[in-house]
Amino acid sequence: MELFAGGGGLAMAVHRSGFRPLLLNEFVKYACDTLEANGAVPRGDDERIPEPGERTPLARGDVRQLKMGYLEGMVDLLAGGPPCQPFSLGGVAKGDEDKRNMFPEMFRAIREIKPKAFICENVRGLLRPSFKPYFDYIIRELMFPFEERDPEATWLQHDAILKGKEERGDAKAAERYRVFTFPVNAADYGVPQIRNRVVIVGFRGDLDIDEELLRAATKPTHSKQALLRSMASGEYWDRHNSVVGRAKVPPHVIRHVMGEVQAALPFEEAAEGLKPWRTLRDALAGDDGADPLPDVPWNRLDRKQYDDMPKEHIGWPDARIYPGHTPNVLDRPAKTVKAGVHGVPGGESVMLTDTLVKGTGKSREYRHRYMTVRETARVMTFPDEWVLCGPRGEQMRQLGNAVPVLLGEVFAKAVATVLGDAEKRL
């Protein structure tokens, strides 16, 4: 089951990992339209569990109104990225919580359905020092979700009760969860994007799970050092110059990038077996088996969908770069895709191209343009066949709020592996 499903990144990852979806919930209209366009069906008031092979039920609307008790004991994995808005630690012994914080609904879902495991993904900002007291409270709430908070109590008062419960160790095994926190950079897991996040994974206490198996299954698979070495050896450039359907990398681009690579010498030793970070150029070339995306001609920055271009691969005019609004470059992982204001995420959606401004060789004078929705979806590791609904701004917002599919898949597969191992020992 997934709450806060958004445009479907984490839901897709969980499904790919072998879990059968029983229910999705989402509030935003265009995100719901996206989920339905990709196979979900409106649930309505029907609290029936779908049979294998049936389309996934989607409960549109406010999660606070969603009843989930009918799924009790049926859910192996609860997933979601609860919106966690800022709050203030100001005042005397009181933290003012933002009413848009949806973690309490995640706690309620755990109480109502008692899943074997859960996955939460959120921004790395949860770990900043000013937020740490509340983050520690979130973790304790996830550990003891059945210790329900008095509506009149502050989070600090409730946290004191949870701390006492933790110290006494008297919670029933089936009413507590073992919780693990993973600060991650999505680029370390094959996502062509620098995206720092925190992933929280929990398992019900009555399951005999192997922590070492979990940690082994969630180790990074890619590294920056491996990317630098592949560039220095020439393998990276040879690979891109052999891609059918995309232009060869101009020599002036290779010289410029190699200047930066040489400046990074001596390289640190990359851990054995790690693959190179994937770059924006890799994503556009389809290094994961997808077809290469064609370049957007400069005379097509006109908001039009052309019949000879992939869907949502639409040129957009008036891209700008300036201090604090810096663009993506092709031969590094992309910057963090953000939802932005009205789906306009600033420099995170602008890219430098291989087209050099006449008479110069400096990176700041390569021509730039907005990334298309399809290019941005590639950076989020969404497959090209995934349909995104709504106007461009809403599509970009869905992508900026999503979990990269490959990152979600690593953790969903890890949970599946750990649960399977625990079941063998029952």
Pinpoint the alpha helices (H) of 39-124.
103-113
CB 158 within 8 A of CB 119: no
Q: Which fold has domain 2-220+404-424?
A: Rossmann fold (3.40.50)
The amino acid sitting at 378 is R
Phi, psi angle pair for 338, to nearest 5° = -120, 155
Pairing outcome for strands 196-204 and 177-185: antiparallel
CB 187 within 8 A of CB 193: yes
CB 397 within 8 A of CB 343: yes
Q: 3-state class of 114 per DSSP?
A: coil
Burial 233-264, CB ≥16 within 10 A → b, else e: eeebbeebeebeebeebeeebbebbeeebeee
Full pLDDT tens readout for the chain, 426 residues: 999 999 999 999 999 999 999 999 999 999 999 999 999 999 988 898 999 999 999 999 999 999 999 999 999 999 999 887 665 554 433 445 777 889 999 999 999 999 999 999 998 888 888 888 889 999 999 999 999 999 999 999 999 999 999 999 999 999 999 999 999 999 999 999 999 999 999 999 999 999 999 999 999 999 999 999 999 999 999 999 999 989 999 999 999 999 989 888 787 776 678 999 999 999 999 999 999 999 999 999 999 999 999 999 999 999 988 887 889 999 999 999 988 754 555 567 999 999 988 766 655 589 999 999 999 999 999 999 999 999 999 999 999 999 999 999 999 999 999 999 999 987
**E-only strand ranges, 357-409:** 366-370
Closest CA to 217 of 230, 205, 203, 234: 203
Residue with tokens 């990152």: 407
Say if pTM beats, i.e. exceeds, 0.85. Answer: yes
Listed in sequence order, the residues at least 6 apart from 188 whose beta carbon sits closer than 8 Å to its beta carbon are: 220, 221, 222, 223, 277
Q: Domain locations in the chain?
A: 2-220+404-424, 223-383
Residues carrying an active site annotation: 84
Token digits for 329? 């470059």
CB 373 within 8 A of CB 399: yes
Token digits for 340? 């932005």
